[in-house]
Structure 1
Amino acid sequence: MRYDRQTMLPEIGEDGQEKLRKASVLLVGVGGLGSPIALYLTAAGIGTLGIMDSDIVSLTNLQRQVFYTESELDKVKTECAHKRLSALNSEVNIQSYPYKLTKENADEIISKYDLVVDGCDNFPTRYLINDTCVKLGKPYVYGAIFGLQGQVSVFNHKSGKTYRDLFPDEEEMLAMPPLSKGVMGVTPAVTGSVEASEVIKLICGYGELLDGKLWTIDLRTMETNIIAL
């Protein structure tokens, strides 16, 4: 009964639900983007969800990071997220990593999962995710936000386009001055939901993935584009 409304869909069905149950996904970052990604993947019945974040809950998070509450201020994000997700769906195996993804641990951790989804907020981590996924042959569902704009893509699906096709000059990207941290809470909500949708599509094998394509949205105008990479 739990998954009845989605197994009614011909794109999912019982076979798709079984694929979700057997799938394992690593989510790097459980902040603004990670909140909707984790909630929707858990609600959908993903088999195993790894959540990775070294941060603690702060007051400024609450405007957009819908995982957390005032009572959880100064607590470790992965611990709070683990409790919230387990309360939502006890059938999902939640694995917590309360530390950063690094060159030293990336291979070991990512190798345990079928794919990686991006909830992070910095270029070095994205390059690390990308390069590790390329080396290990894992798909990488990418998302990023800025203010009232968001973008999503699927990288390294069947050895397709990678993050370095979107941003080939790593040194230039890392040398950029820090971007404004201004953001509306709905921006990661919309963008993260699209990322979760791409993860489910990838696992169940329906629709057209954003493979080799970049989806963008501007919430000021509601203009969306799909750009070939």
Structure 2
Amino acid sequence: MNKVLFRMLSFAFLLLGVFLILALLISRKQIHGFDDRLITLVSRLYSPTSTAVMKGFTFVGSGLCISIITLLIVFMLLIIGYRRELIFYVGIIVGSGLLNLVLKMIFHRARPDIHRIVQASGYSFPSGHSMAAFTFYGITIYFLWKHARYAWLRVTIVTIGIVMILMIGISRIYLGVHYPSDVVGGYVISAAWITASIGSYERFLEKRWQSRKFRSKIVT
């Protein structure tokens, strides 16, 4: 195991530990103070305009919208011949969705029943929208960062990604379908998933490059 992979896996395990601590606090009902304070803070933003904006961000973070955008990116990767990246890209996003379903079934946390603006079914922890947003925009940032040639473009890509991730998470709190701790939990476990996956992928690319280099030496 090389140093980069070791560091990324170590960070992923650290994030997993944070997630488990958060889950423990939720199970013991010791996080209501944090949730209540943030819900109160977000509720101060209520207005017809804010509600329309938040519904828009929630739609952008929905499974339908993420799936459509992912299919468009997959089509683009196919056209330009990036099949290896395509498999990794789709695997990360699909894996995140499956992980969310498993975690929801494990923790069985009911959704909040106050300040409800829209309806949502299923369990609450961790937030599926937050996980989907963090995974989708996180992995998209990773690929675009690798291919962006200019510093200003990289800064723009990261800024847009961060804003989208945060606003989608806030929209779920605003609309009353998730506790803040659901959103934080979704971010943390998604970050762990992406970190471990990117570390493994980078290791795969390194080994592939070393194998090609070795074969070229034999040929010459």
Q: Which has the higher helix share?
A: 2
Q: Which has the higher strand share?
A: 1
Given the two structures, how large is their TM-score scaled by the length of structure 1? 0.24
Structure possessing the higher relative contact order (Cα contacts under 8 Å, 6 or more residues apart): 2
Task: Report which of the two structures shows the higher radius of gyration computed on alpha carbons.
Answer: 2
